[in-house]
Amino acid sequence: MPFEYYYFLVATFILGSIIGSFLNVCIYRIPAEISIVSPRSRCPHCETPIKWYHNIPILSWVLLKGKCAYCSADVPVRYLLVEALTGTLFALFFYRFAFHTVTPVVLLLVATLVVITFIDLDHQIIPDVISLPGIPIGFLCSFFVPWVSWQESLLGIVIGGGSLLTIALGYEFLTKKEGMGFGDVKLLAMLGAFLGWTAIFPIIFIGSLLGTMVGVPLMLIKKADSKLAVPFGPFLSAGALIHIFFIQRFDPIMRWYGDMLQQLWLSFW
C-alpha cells in the first residue's frame, strides 16, 4: 500500500469522527422528537450552548475528562464511543473500497446503522423516520452501485421485510407475546434495498449468531429478570456491516452464491 494512502485513511477517520459528532445529536434528539438542526448543541444539564472548541470530536471529551466545561456535569462516554466508532468504521470501509463508486453509499449506510444501533440500545425502538426513508434511498442507490441491480434491490425490500415479518408473526402466534419489534422488519427491508435480496439471509444468520452469543450470557447473568429484552437491531446492523466488508458481491464466493439463489428462484417459478 502506498504511504500516501495512509493520509486518506487518517482523513477518512477524522471525517467519520466529525460525522459521529452529528450522529450523537441524532441519537439524542430523534427519540425525543427534537429538531436535529436547531437549537445548536447545548449541555442538557445547564442548557449552556457548547462552543465549537468544546465540541471537537474525541479530543474535547478527552481534554475535558468527560465533563461539561460549564457545570462539570458528566458527559456520557457514549459520545466518545460514537465518534470513535464512526471514525473507525469510515476508515475501515475506505480501506476496503477506496475510491470506488460504492464508497459514498457504504459510508451513508454505516452512519445510518450507527444511529439505529444506539437508539435501539437506548430506547429499544428503530424510528420510522430513519428506516422508512432509507428504503427508497437504498433503492435509488441501486442505480449507482455495481453490486446490486434495481430488481435485486426491489426483491431485497420484499424478501427482507417479508422474511422477518413472517418470523415475528409466527413467534407471536406460537408464544402469544411479541418477541420482535416491527422496527426490525423495516430495518431489514432497508438493508435489502441497499444490498439486494441475496444479502438478506447472511445478515439474518450473522445477526442471529451474534445475538445468541451476547443474549444468552446476558440472560444467564440476569436470570432473575424475566423481562430482560435484548434489541435485535444492533445485531442486524452488525451483520450487515460484516457482510459488506467480507462477502458483498465483489467477492467470487458471493457472486456464486447470488447466481445459485437466482437460478433456484427462476427454476421455482
Give the model's pLDDT for residue 7: 87
What are the residues whose beta carbons fall under 8 Å from the beta carbon of 250, sequence distance 6 or more?
A: 147
Give the model's pLDDT for residue 218: 74
Calculate mean pLDDT across residues 72-100: 93
Task: Give pLDDT tens digits for 129-171.
Answer: 999 999 999 999 999 888 889 999 999 999 988 877 777 667 5
Task: Give pLDDT tens digits for 179-214.
Answer: 566 888 899 999 999 999 989 989 999 999 998 888
Task: Give pLDDT tens digits for 221-264.
Answer: 766 454 556 788 999 999 999 999 987 655 544 455 555 555 65
DSSP string covering 185-235: HHHHHHHHHHH-GGGHHHHHHHHHHHHHHHHHHHHHHTTT-TT----SHHH
Q: How far is the C-alpha of 109 from the C-alpha of 238, rounded, in Å?
A: 12
Residue 45 contacts residue 74 (beta carbons within 8 Å): no
Cα angle value 234/80/17 (rounded, 5°): 85
Q: How far is the C-alpha of 133 from the C-alpha of 112, rounded, in Å?
A: 11
Look at the alpha carbons of 54, 55, 60, 66 in this order and tell me if their dihedral is positive or negative: positive
* Cell numbers 442548557: residue: 47
* Cell numbers 427534537: residue: 34
Is the predicted pLDDT of residue 178 greater than 90, yes or no? no
Give the model's pLDDT for residue 263: 60
Q: What is the mean pLDDT of the chain?
A: 85
Split at pLDDT 50, 70, 90, the class of 45 is confident
Residue 93 contacts residue 240 (beta carbons within 8 Å): no
Residue 153 contacts residue 193 (beta carbons within 8 Å): yes
Give the model's pLDDT for residue 253: 46
What backbone phi and psi angles, to 5 degrees, belong to 41? -60, 140
Residue 149 contacts residue 137 (beta carbons within 8 Å): no
Give the model's pLDDT for residue 164: 74
